[in-house]
């Protein structure tokens, strides 16, 4: 599952994590990304200590037998983590799904947790590039909009499961409050609202009004979002 930050991605991981046949992993390339970029993200030291910093080691783990002898492996990935030097060969061995969200909503949410994001931070350009890469592998990648999930969780998830050849499991509609055992160490900084949740939030209202700088950033991302949105499940 490919998304940028602040994009329903953690709720989706919890949804799949509620299935008894599914193991989940939370942003496994995060430490490798920080090691390559040197970026000073919140909880950087803890993140670096918690995960392999070598992208090749991460790639090996993603293709290894599924932990816990589970039948399915749900991998939550952030598109901005996939720098050119991060391995991508493994993508041909998995089903690639792209979770999109309107950039105005992403920017408004991200800025509350980390000020001054730029286009590289929010992952829209990288998401479009990865979508093209998956197509270049001969795949027909799935695109699902976070708004559609919020509007009708059961309908959207049933459609996604059908596209993935997964049997529908109603357990995906809820999870215990307090987080998931596979949360990354960064969860206490970023996951407050989803930790308080026990299911998907209600549909969102109108897009937020953004200050000039953030409005310009959302506008930069809009074309990438719209291109993928044209390919979303309907």
pLDDT for 227: 97
Say yes or no to pLDDT of 216 above 90.
yes
Say yes or no to pLDDT of 234 above 90.
no
Write the DSSP symbol of residue 64: S
Q: Left (φ > 0), alpha (ψ -120 to 50) or beta: where does 185 sit? A: alpha
Structure tokens at 4: 């940028």
73: Cβ–Cβ under 8 A, 6 or more apart, which residues?
Answer: 22, 23, 24, 25, 62, 66, 67
Helix, strand, coil content of the chain in percent (nearest 5): 50, 10, 40
- Tell me the per-residue pLDDT of 3-12, one tens digit each, with 9 for 90 and over: 999 999 999 9
Q: Give 18's pLDDT tier (boundaries 50, 70, 90).
A: very high
Measured in whole angstroms, the distance separating CA 218 from the mean position of its chain's CA atoms is 18
210: Cβ–Cβ under 8 A, 6 or more apart, which residues?
Answer: 104, 107, 108, 218
pLDDT for 199: 98
Could you give the C-alpha distances from 193 to 113, 117, 189, 190, in angstroms and in order? 12, 20, 10, 8
For the full predicted model, state whether its pTM sits above 0.85. Answer: yes
- Tell me the per-residue pLDDT of 157-203, one tens digit each, with 9 for 90 and over: 999 999 999 999 999 999 999 999 999 999 999 899 999 999 999 99
Beta strands at 72-78 and 2-3: parallel, antiparallel or unpaired: parallel
- Tell me the per-residue pLDDT of 38-93, one tens digit each, with 9 for 90 and over: 999 999 999 999 999 999 999 999 999 999 999 999 999 999 999 999 999 999 99
Could you give the C-alpha distances from 94 to 56, 71, 75, 130, 135, in angstroms and in order? 16, 13, 10, 13, 13
Residues 91, 1 contacting (CB under 8 angstroms): no
- Tell me the per-residue pLDDT of 106-155, one tens digit each, with 9 for 90 and over: 999 888 888 788 999 999 999 999 999 999 999 999 999 999 999 999 99
pLDDT for 113: 82
**CA angle centred on 124, ends 55 and 162, rounded to 5°:** 80
């Amino acid at each position: 599952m490919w998304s940028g930050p602040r994009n329903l991605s953690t709720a989706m991981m919890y949804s799949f994590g509620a299935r008894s046949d599914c193991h989940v992993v939370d942003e496994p390339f995060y430490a490798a990304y920080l090691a390559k970029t040197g970026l000073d993200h919140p909880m950087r030291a803890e993140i670096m200590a918690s995960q392999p910093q070598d992208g090749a080691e991460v790639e090996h783990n993603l293709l290894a037998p599924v932990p816990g002898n589970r039948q399915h492996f749900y991998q939550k990935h952030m598109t901005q983590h996939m720098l050119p030097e991060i391995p991508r060969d493994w993508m041909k061995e998995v089903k690639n799904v792209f979770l999109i969200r309107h950039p105005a909503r992403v920017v408004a949410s991200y800025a509350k947790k980390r000020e001054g994001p730029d286009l590289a931070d929010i992952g829209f350009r990288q998401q479009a590039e990865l979508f093209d890469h998956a197509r270049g592998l001969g795949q027909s990648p799935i695109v699902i909009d976070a708004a559609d999930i919020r509007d009708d969780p059961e309908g959207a998830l049933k459609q996604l499961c059908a596209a993935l050849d997964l049997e529908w499991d109603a357990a995906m509609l809820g999870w215990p409050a307090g987080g998931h055992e596979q949360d990354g160490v960064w969860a206490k900084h970023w996951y407050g609202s989803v930790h308080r949740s026990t299911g998907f939030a209600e549909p969102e209202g109108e897009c937020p009004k953004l200050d000039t700088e953030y409005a310009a950033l959302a506008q930069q991302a809009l074309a990438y979002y719209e291109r993928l949105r044209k390919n979303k499940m309907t």
